[in-house]
DNA sequence: CATCGTCACTAGCACGTGCAAGTCCAGGTA
DNA sequence: TACCTGGACTTGCACGTGCTAGTGACGATG
């Protein structure tokens, strides 16, 4: 117990140089010349002793930690979102940053995590409210990613708007002319739902289709059943769903109402989450380019951190339609 | 820009006391007597200036940060697991700790997060391997929750073993005598699958049922279809699934094979994830007591951190069977 | 030979805390 | 009066870094 931790001073003593030299070697400090012999000796000794720089000390010196804090809203994490992050982490790591994700809970009176971690950048999936921004400022955090002065949510990015257009076009190409939009009832996701709905509307408009019939769809409160009944009566044959969960709810309600899917009602989801593939009938959906989005997210964060070049607004965004049974030509 | 951050020294100067006094007031340091007048003056001044202690400095002094790092395996996060954590966070917060969750990726050559955060406790959902333990030790982390010296995984807790017994009993009570177990094919979850399988086997044994026919079930590779065909031929009528996803895969395969669910094959899942409620037919499942598990988890972590009393091994564990259509008496 | 520049380092400050040890003084004994 | 006690502070060190401002030695230049 209580093996004191190995410090740069230990390495210095052991290598027969000063502590400063160890620092220069470890950080490749520009403008410092170190002989190859010394460099090797220091490196070897550090390795041998198992030296790890003490993060708290580095952070203290630096004024902030090399962390990027991602604040997620407390809605059920979209499957795709999770995949983005897994892609982003290595990219950030390469630049020396670590990604910590933090799910914000509604009734949260606990101190927000940015106070405890003092990250270099805080990234929000949605823009922060004034209270949050104030709290960050008070902790000395200046790099906030939906820039509070100019709050463009990630939900406005092409990544979000590409999908719904594909959904509409897919149904159009299969011959559907009267379309509806299945929205999530959960108010917490309304921003994203609205963003996707807006794009779907635009796409429908451009194809000369009438307005979309928008209904909340939830499998728990009967809203899905009501929506399906209403759509049947209105002669609607194609449904664009906010995501795969709402798509599943819509398909489920249709089946329970005795409708054939896709015979009487075709439904297309969004995100390619597992439920879409597993449902019977399998649900057509939109798959986003997770790797690309992840890299883009990382680039955006690093732009804020380092000031390095910002990626083009539409780079790395690719959405593909995955056609399955729920819109397929052959009913199940 | 560059508003210097408010330090304890600023507060001290402003309140007309020494920096140490500020420290004593802020931390209620035991053994130090501070007059009420001074205490108030310091507190007021701190409030007025918006003083926040600098975490990095505190961490440096203290030797570690007041964080609890939860390392999750890189399997798809179970829905229920997420709910546990949401319960645990406030409980930990109350004790002054913050919870950071960290998903470990397989091909991860990036430095593990514990090196960067130097948390006080690292908690793993599964026991850590020697390399990880070594790496933690090297960072001065001594509090590791599945104690490396005595690794009892969280998967062995009653929380995990209560559910499968309920699943078996449920099918038994509905008259099923020949049961199978649907396992997840993903090798990453095998520990948990095995744990649940073991309990299910025990329960079946105690009811005088024969051995369970165990098959991997995945909706992507045809294994679900093979398993279902095999079960039909073997006269099996009830399936205990590892979780709701495998249950859904099994039900889906059964439907595609022309079997009635639950008429020909009854399936019960585990975790009460959204897919279970949304599937058609709706899938019977086991709901765990998330709040209780969350509190238990928090208590376990605090036990390691503070040495405070450890909760009884079976406290806060409650599993309920949620009967739905996939095992219901009335076929859809 | 004096001066200059470069190389290869070292001395030491600053970051903001927590806390041990010390100081000062009012009041209580012997 | 001399001595002690305890309240209410203050002084100052330690934590482990990053990095600025040196310092000596050595070779090149005028």
- Region of residue B5 (phi > 0: left; psi between -120 and 50: alpha; otherwise: beta): beta
Tell me how many degrees the CA angle B120-B122-B123 measures, rounded to the nearest 5: 135
CA gap B25, B19 in Å, rounded: 10
A window 244-273, beta carbon within 8 A of B: 245, 248-249, 251-252, 255-256
C-alpha span between A228 and A74 (Å, rounded): 29
Rounding to the nearest 10 degrees, give the CA dihedral for residues B39, B45, B46, B48: 140
Place of tokens 């939009």: A181
- Check B278 against A248: CB less than 8 A apart: yes
Q: Is the CB of A29 under 7 A from strand D?
A: yes
> What does the block give as tokens for A304?
């804020």
The verdict on A55 touching B (C-beta cutoff 8 Å) is yes
Name every residue whose Cβ is closer than 8 Å to that of residue A231 and which is 6 or more positions away in sequence: A180, A213, A215, A239, A265
Asked whether the beta carbons of residue A76 and residue B274 sit closer than 8 angstroms, the reply is: yes
One of 3.30.70, 3.40.30, 2.60.40, 3.40.50 is the CATH number of A57-151+295-306, namely 3.40.50
**Interface residue B96 vs chain A (CB under 8 A):** no
Which residue has tokens 């390619």? A272
- A237, A222, A326: which is closest to A284 by C-alpha? A326
A32 CA, C10 C1': separation in Å? 13
Nearest in space to A246 (alpha carbons), one of A74, A85, A75, A70? A75
Q: Is the CB of B34 under 7 A from strand D?
A: yes
Q: Are B144 and B133 in contact (CB under 8 A)?
A: yes
CA-based R_g, chain A, Å = 26
What DSSP letter does each residue of A13-82 carry, written as one string? HHHTS-HHHHHHHHHT-TT----HHHHHHHHHHHHHHT----HHHHHHHHSSEEEEEEEEPSSPPPHHHH
Q: How far apart are CA A181 and CA A201, in angstroms?
A: 9
For CATH 3.40.50.2300, the residue range(s) in chain B are: 155-291+318-322
Region of A167 on the Ramachandran plot (φ > 0 left; ψ -120 to 50 alpha; else beta):
alpha
> Which whole number is the average pLDDT over B148-174?
81
The closest of A219, A224, A170, A162 to A195, measured between CA atoms, is A162
Strand C nucleotides below 7 A of a protein CB?
7-12, 14-21
- Establish if A220 touches chain B: CB-CB under 8 angstroms: yes
pTM of the model: 0.83
Tell me what pLDDT residue A331 has.
Answer: 42
Considering the four listed CATH numbers 3.40.50.1820, 3.40.50.300, 3.20.20.140, 3.40.50.2300, the one that applies to the domain covering B155-291+318-322 is 3.40.50.2300
By the 8 A CB rule, do A182 and A239 touch? yes
* pLDDT confidence of residue B130: 87
Tokens coding B101? 């969750």
* CA contacts within 13 A on the Cβ side of A41: 14
Nearest to B250 by CA among B319, B179, B306, B320: B179
Decide if pLDDT at B124 tops 90. no
* Radius of gyration of chain B, Cα coordinates, nearest whole angstrom: 26
Calculate how close chain A gets to B94, using CA atoms only, in Å. Answer: 8
Residue B139 has pLDDT above 80, yes or no: no
Q: How does residue B331 score in pLDDT terms, banded at 50, 70 and 90?
A: very low
Q: What digits encode the pLDDT tens for the residues B71-89? A: 877 766 566 677 777 778 8
d(CA A331, CA B178) in angstroms, rounded, equals: 34
Nearest to A116 among B98, B140, B252 (CB): B98
B158 has a pLDDT exceeding 80: no
Task: State the count of interchain CB pairs (< 8 A) between A and B.
Answer: 130
Q: Residue B316's pLDDT band (boundaries 50, 70, 90)?
A: low
- Unique residue bearing structure tokens 């940060």: B65
User: Mean pLDDT highest for which of A55-69, B40-54, B247-261?
Assistant: B247-261
Residue–nucleotide distance: A33 CA to C12 C1' (Å)? 20
Which of A67, A103, A278 is facing B116, going by the closest CB pair?
A: A67
Confidence of residue B66 (pLDDT cuts 50, 70, 90): confident
Q: Which of residues 19-58 of B touch strand C (CB under 7 A)?
A: 19-20, 23-24, 26-27, 29, 31, 51-54, 57-58
Taking the C-alpha atoms of residue A302 and residue A137, their distance in angstroms, rounded to an integer, is 19
Residue A191 burial (10 A CB sphere; 0-12, 13-18, 19+):
middle
DSSP label of A117: H
The tens-digit pLDDT sequence of chain A (332 residues) is 446 788 999 999 999 999 999 999 999 998 888 999 999 999 999 999 989 889 889 999 988 888 898 887 766 656 667 777 777 887 887 788 888 887 776 555 567 788 778 888 998 877 888 888 888 887 778 888 888 887 666 656 666 778 999 999 999 999 999 999 999 988 877 878 898 999 999 999 999 998 999 999 999 999 999 999 999 999 999 999 999 999 999 999 999 999 999 999 999 999 898 999 999 999 999 998 888 878 888 888 888 887 777 776 666 568 899 999 999 875 43
* φ, ψ at B216 (rounded to 5°): -70, 145
Residue B322, chain A, CB below 8 Å: the answer is no
């Amino acid at each position: 117990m209580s093996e004191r931790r190995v410090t740069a001073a230990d390495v210095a003593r052991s290598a027969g140089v000063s502590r400063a030299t160890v620092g220069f070697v470890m950080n490749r400090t520009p403008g410092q010349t170190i002989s190859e012999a010394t460099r090797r000796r220091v490196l070897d000794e550090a390795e041998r002793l198992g030296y790890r720089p003490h993060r708290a000390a580095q952070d203290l010196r630096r004024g902030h930690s090399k962390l990027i804090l991602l604040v997620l809203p407390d809605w059920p994490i979209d499957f795709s979102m999770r995949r983005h992050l897994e892609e982003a982490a290595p990219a950030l790591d390469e630049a020396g940053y670590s990604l910590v994700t933090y799910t914000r809970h509604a009734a949260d009176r606990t101190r927000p995590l940015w106070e405890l971690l003092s990250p270099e950048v805080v990234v929000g999936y949605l823009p922060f409210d004034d209270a949050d921004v104030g709290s960050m400022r008070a902790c000395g955090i200046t790099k906030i990613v939906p820039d509070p002065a100019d709050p463009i949510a990630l939900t406005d990015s092409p990544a979000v708007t590409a999908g719904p257009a594909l959904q509409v076009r897919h149904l159009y190409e299969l011959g559907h002319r009267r379309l509806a939009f299945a929205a999530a009832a959960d108010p917490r996701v309304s921003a994203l739902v609205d963003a996707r709905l807006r794009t779907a509307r635009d796409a429908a408009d451009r194809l000369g289709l009438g307005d979309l019939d928008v209904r909340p769809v939830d499998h728990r409160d009967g809203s899905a059943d009501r929506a399906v009944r209403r759509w049947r009566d209105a002669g609607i044959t194609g449904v664009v769903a906010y995501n795969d969960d709402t798509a599943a709810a819509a398909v489920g309600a249709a089946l329970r109402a005795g409708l054939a899917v896709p015979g009487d009602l075709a439904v297309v989801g969004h995100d390619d989450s597992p439920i879409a593939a597993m449902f019977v009938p399998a649900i057509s959906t939109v798959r986003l380019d997770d790797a690309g989005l992840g890299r883009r997210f990382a680039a955006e964060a690093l732009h804020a951190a380092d000031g390095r070049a910002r990626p083009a607004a539409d780079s790395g965004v690719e959405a593909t339609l995955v056609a399955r049974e729920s819109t397929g030509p052959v009913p199940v």
